[in-house]
Chain A
Amino acid sequence: MGTLMRLFFLGTILWLLSMPAYAVDLEYNGYLLSSNSNRINANTLTTGEKYNWLVAQQQLHLEIMAATDTTNLIAKIELINDSIDGTQRIDIRELYGEYLGESVEFRLGRQILTWGVADRLFINDVFSKDWTAFFAGQPLEYMKTASDMAKISYFSNDWDIELVLQPTMQYDQTPASNRYVVFGSNMPVQKPANRLGNGEVATRLHTAIGTTDVALYGFKGFWHQPDKGMQAGNIIFPRLNNVGLTIQDSIWGGVLSFETGYYQSADDKDGKDPFIANSQYRYLVSYERDVMTDVTVALQAYGELMHNHQDYLKAAQAAFNAGFGPKPQSKHRKIGTLNIRALWMNQTLTTSLFAMAVATGGRMVNPDVNYTINDNFSINAGGHIFWGGSDSWMLGMMKNNDNLYVNSKWSF
């Protein structure tokens, strides 16, 4: 247990002891979730085993909230049974305390945060992701993982600012070779040492200009993806700085969004080091609107523009030719997504089709159906089909992991 969590528990106990019992509202709720995803390609795992299950787990999710007018304590705890390897574990999904002042809020503990305007693509959302859960069709909220952090927010009438401090970085979960047929994912991972100076700082300043939402972002920390650095046969996470901007407004009956960020790869600013990712610009333009009652179409165009691509290409091509690395990415990596979502039967049935394409070849489609049988019970099924390309971006790596999934959820 980290220092932050220990401090948090101590603070919580003091807080509870200091409260007269009548001033605290206690609420609890939760759900039972069964997630199952089966790989439908015939390939054998690189570990030699013939597992076809990407996910087969049952989890009990409990949420407890204790609240007063100015303080909240929230715990979201999961008891998980993994049927594939027969293990059980307790996952603290979120656990935080917060103080809600007149114009200032503090939130301390394990928490989830989502920034930016993109859907399943990320620029200014620098918080950790779980791509394993995403590709296996677990409910979309499991794509976001919590981090231990302190968040301070200040609200004026015209603007608000959030400042997030993370004592340790938390990298993304990516499909691993014990469940997925993926290339090169069993290299040892070396996380930055837990020490002062290896923390992460992120900030978001938001305002509204008329009806337009505008936000500025800043980040000083590390790359969170395992394909951004390599050192002595280990996966490492090089330093990353980001400054970014989002603009969003309602226009022509829909919502138009723009997002950009400059990712400065701080350990390789000039892009000469072949083992560290180069700096890049990222941008996204998206538009979403209802095309008829209860049918929404959303389009996203996303790009990454790499600095000093020539040096990168030389090194990456050599590694690829020698059979060590994935196919080098192009200077300008372009990704498009389409999401069509329709609601049926008094909005109890949702069907959606999410498609993603990388310009150099990787493709994915994800049809999904969700049926809410009653207020407590819902069932969700779908699939992921991958094809084309062997781009170093994840889609190319996933092409032997087509899957079908079924999730059912009972809420209480």
Chain B
Amino acid sequence: MKKIILSLLLLITPLAWAEDASQIMEEAHLANYYAADDAKAHVSMQIINSDGATREREFTILRRDVEDGGDQWFYVFFKKPSDVRGMSFLVNKHPHADDDRWLFIPAIKMIKRIAASDARSAFVGSDYTYEDISGRHPSSDSAEMMTEESIHERNTWKIKNTPKTPEKDYSYRYTWVDQQTKLILKEVYFDAANTEVRIFTNDEMKEVNGHWVGIAGTMKNIELNHTTKVRFSKVELNLGIPENIFSERSLKSAPRKWVR
């Protein structure tokens, strides 16, 4: 009898873990991309090429959630470098459809609506993709629990995520989710030959208004030996950013109160 129970347990366990892995990725998605109802941060980005030459980007990002796990609005106002200063970018993210995106070009005061079918293209020439910035919906992947590991003395789940529709720049990735905060601490992308192609690490996190947020991260493209470091400062949550901030008006004249 014991044997039967044991073998049943053995059969059931992988199923339970599979469910857990998807569940954990759902929770990680909410913790990483939907903390509180809105957010504001000042972002500085260093893009470092294989020769060590560095390009910098500085922008303020505002986020407002329409629904947890669902649609979101993003507004980005660029401050550096000089040739993109004053540019602004508005995104209405739809997790299950193409996003709506608008770009404002200050030199000619023009709003340009831009095509958004390629979520894997690079965000402002960095090693982060648009999807890395706004969040890949967990339903796009099948998640499989691998093991539990410790990263910097924090307990994590290591989960294998395989895109349900193949992506051109990687085949699968391992995601390490912090058990306490549900933040992603590390992510390694592999190609079909099981070679590492890209590595994300969460370098620092902080508690803001009861929510844990990553405030420093590194994305490294191994093949190109190209790295982007990101640091968030002045992170604020639940500010009550009005809905009308995410509009054509803000593209044309930055809402100074919110982007300062």
A284-316, CB under 8 A of B: which get 1 and which 0?
Answer: 000011101110100000000000000000000
Chain A residues with Cβ below 8 Å from B117 are 253-254, 289-290
Query: Judging by beta carbons under 8 Å apart, are A250 and B116 in contact?
Result: yes
Nearest Cβ in chain B — how far from A68, in angstroms?
A: 8
Considering the complex, give the chain A residue whose CB is closest to the CB of B82: A411
Query: Judging by beta carbons under 8 Å apart, are A374 and B82 in contact?
Result: no
B256 interface contact, C-beta 8 A: yes
Query: Judging by beta carbons under 8 Å apart, are B108 and A411 in contact?
Result: no
Tell me how many residues of B have a C-beta within 8 Å of chain A: 45
B204 interface contact, C-beta 8 A: no
| Cα–Cα, bound, A100→B224 (Å) | 46
Chain B residues with Cβ below 8 Å from A411 are 81-83
A52 interface contact, C-beta 8 A: no
Residue in contact with A144 in the complex, picked from B47, B98, B108, B257, CB distance below 8 Å: B108
B232-255, CB under 8 A of A: which get 1 and which 0?
Answer: 000000000001100111000100
Given contacts A253-B115, A294-B122, A374-B55, are A31 and B83 in contact (CB under 8 A)?
yes
Chain B residues with Cβ below 8 Å from A292 are 118
| Cα–Cα, bound, A160→B114 (Å) | 21
B196 interface contact, C-beta 8 A: no
Given contacts A211-B92, A294-B122, A347-B122, are A289 and B253 in contact (CB under 8 A)?
no
- In residues 193-212 of chain B, which contact A (Cβ within 8 Å)? none
| Cα–Cα, bound, A98→B249 (Å) | 14
The 3 closest A-B CB pairs, nearest first, are A253-B117, A347-B125, A114-B110
Q: Return 21 A-B CB contacts under 8 Å, by A number.
A: A100-B253, A113-B109, A114-B109, A114-B110, A144-B108, A155-B247, A155-B249, A157-B244, A211-B100, A213-B248, A250-B113, A255-B114, A288-B115, A346-B122, A346-B125, A346-B226, A347-B124, A348-B55, A376-B81, A409-B83, A411-B83
Query: Which positions in A face B, CB cutoff 8 Å?
Result: 29-31, 67, 69, 72, 98, 100, 105, 111-114, 117, 140-141, 143-144, 153, 155, 157, 160, 206, 211, 213, 248, 250, 253-255, 257, 288-290, 292-294, 296, 343, 346-348, 372, 374-376, 378, 409, 411-412
